[in-house]
Amino acid sequence: SHNDKRPQKPFYITTPIFYVNARPHVGHMYTMVLTDVINRYQALTGRKAIMCTGTDEHGLKIQQAAAKVDTPPQEFCDGGAAVFKQLAGSINVDYGTFIRTSSPQHREAVEYAWHMLQDRGYIYESKHEGWYSVSDETFYPETQVELIIDPPTGRKIMSSIETGKEVEWTSERNYHFRLSAFKDRLLLFYKENPEFVVPHTRMSDLVREVESGLSDLSVSRPAERLTWGVTVPTDPSQTIYVWLDALLSYATAAGYPFTPGAESTGGWPADVHVIGKDIVRFHCIYWPAFLMALDLPLPKQILTHAHWTLGRKKMAKSTGNVVDPFFALERFGIDAMRWYLVHDGGITDDADYDNRYIISKYKKGLQGGLGNLASRLMRAKSWDVAKAVKRYAHPNYVKGQDSFPAVSAESNSHGRMLYGSINALPSQVDKFMKELHPNRALQTIMERIYDANAFLQKEAPWALTRQLEEIAADTTGQLMHDLSKSGSSPEKLEAEIDRSIYLCAETVRVTSIMLQPFIPESATRLLDFYGVQPERRGVEWAVVGKDDTYGTPMFDANDKVKATIFPPLTSDF
Ligand code: ME8
């Protein structure tokens, strides 16, 4: 139909906007990288893709943090936002938008949304009493708090059972959002969109929580307590609750309030919000309810990832149990970090961060696995990758895999297995990426690289090369005679060598194409090393045999520095 001709909405993906009250740690970097990988993958498939990250700058927590260091809140936030922006840049995160909630553009969007909510009758004023956690920026009901002894101070404090954070009794007049009115609509929405929350296990917890009932949500605080935020446009004595303000940043960044007829040019609605499992309630209950109330389309999926721990305890800025991402980057480099975080980071289960793992896994996966395979093939004097490619790539070798010459049935079957598994790789990666499991996608790519290394080891083309050299050097002609008697010939041996080289080179080419979203710099260097033309690096080229033009490095392959894509990491620091 003519509708199919409409340009596709840009893919739109976000990270949470991060609080600026403390320096970022590896957990924040992880969310940024996961999001970037998914966004870059979409772009690799040829879709316009927009990623948004940014900073959450309002609220009591930030107000208090700024006051503590005697700095005006805006100045305090400018400094914090700059650090998060720097982090994104330094780990090669290709964000299109960096949204700050203290920006005038965002303030206007929040004011507009407030008017809409009020006009539609979703907001009312009443007295509110409850336990408020400044650290979590949320009220907890009586049933979700307990009296504990605060370990550092020995003081008895009331705290949230869920997060352990201190809560204080608050009694005030403020505005409420009719969250309770959305219970049935939310449950129906979850039922009709079983893929809304990834991984699926967190969806059942969510349904249980909503089924057990929703109370209305306090969405403003008296301005004498909370000054740093967006003022309620109809009542200057109140300031808008930080989470309503913060969640709306996803809309602001996509152009909200939207221009009629151009609602989706900024990517709205979001395809994926990537968040940590700590903020599921805000994104999977409050956020859809706000959007329903505003009559805006809902995000398609929320990817809720697990946490990084350090010494098995959650990495968190409030406890100081953190790894500085800038130090880690300086020590290991951008792609080693990106690779490690995605390969070993948890979606469903928490993962423990350890410098020793980074080094040993890098050694196995990138340096010893991919780097070694790539350079063994390309730097050997005894064969020529470009020649092997010319010989076997389609359309030069149209007869296909079954006709690959082989000296033995055994090696023929190994080759066929590798051929089949590399050919299947792009669709496996695609499936995992669409299921929002970048870690599985990356692990599968790595398996193909390990397969190719094992194949090369078994085929040992260097042994055939030596055999050819010996035959050539044998003046008696005996070796040549033996070879012919066995039904082989120097030409057949050469064809066999080329065949092994070709299958391994294809593994490097195809995996490098698929690795671009994960380790963009290294993958680009690998593709340069293999002389893959820049316009042949999209996923549509990740088909065995499709490219018959590569094999000659775009730089001097004997330049040790350039040809060492994954230099060794040092473990002594
Ligand atoms: O919650 N492991 O901001 P925040 C993995 N401003 N990821 C972690 C992590 C860990 N140990 N610790 C933090 C906020 N993260 C709000 C969000 S959105 C409209 C407002 C990541 O600075 C993870 O993505 O506390 C988590 O959800 C987020 O940082 C919390 O960042």
pLDDT tens, the chain, 573 aa long = 445 556 789 999 999 999 999 999 999 999 999 999 999 999 999 999 999 999 999 999 999 999 999 999 999 999 999 999 999 999 999 999 999 999 999 999 999 999 999 999 999 999 999 999 999 999 998 899 999 998 778 899 999 999 999 999 999 999 999 999 999 999 999 999 999 999 999 999 999 999 999 999 999 999 999 999 999 999 999 999 999 999 999 999 999 999 999 999 999 999 999 999 999 999 999 999 999 999 999 999 999 999 999 999 999 988 889 999 999 999 999 999 999 999 999 999 999 999 999 999 999 999 999 999 999 999 888 899 999 999 888 766 555 444 555 556 666 788 888 988 999 999 999 999 999 999 999 999 999 999 999 999 999 999 999 999 999 999 999 999 999 999 999 998 998 899 999 999 999 999 999 999 999 999 999 999 999 999 999 999 999 889 999 999 999 888 888 889 999 997 665
Residue 44 CB less than 6 A away from ligand 1: no
**Which residues are registered as beta bridge partners of 52?**
14, 97
Residues with Cβ within 8 Å of 89's Cβ and at least 6 positions away in sequence, in order, are: none
Residue 308 CB less than 6 A away from ligand 1: yes
The dihedral region occupied by 262, where left means phi > 0, alpha psi between -120 and 50, and beta the remainder, is alpha
**Residue in 330, 331, 356 with CA at minimum distance from that of residue 344:** 356
Residue whose CA lies nearest to ligand 1 atom number 12: 27
Q: Are 315 and 325 in contact, with CB atoms under 8 Å apart? A: no
Residue 561 has which token pair?
Answer: 């520095």
Q: What is the pLDDT of residue 1?
A: 43
Q: How far apart are CA 330 and CA 86, in angstroms?
A: 14
Q: How far apart are CA 439 and CA 343, in angstroms?
A: 5
Angle at which helices 104-119 and 287-294 pack, to 10 degrees? 70
- The CA 275 to ligand 1 mean position distance, Å, reads 7
- The CA 155 to ligand 1 mean position distance, Å, reads 28
Q: What is the pLDDT of residue 5?
A: 59
**Ligand 1 test: best mutation among 36, 275, 303, most atoms within 8 Å of CB?**
275
Q: What is the pLDDT of residue 402?
A: 47
Q: How far apart are CA 17 and CA 287, in angstroms?
A: 14
- The CA 314 to ligand 1 mean position distance, Å, reads 12
Q: How far apart are CA 169 and CA 28, in angstroms?
A: 31
Q: Are 86 and 55 in contact, with CB atoms under 8 Å apart? A: no
Q: How far apart are CA 91 and CA 341, in angstroms?
A: 11
Q: Are 256 and 248 in contact, with CB atoms under 8 Å apart? A: yes
In ligand 1, the atom with minimum distance to the C-alpha of 309 is 11
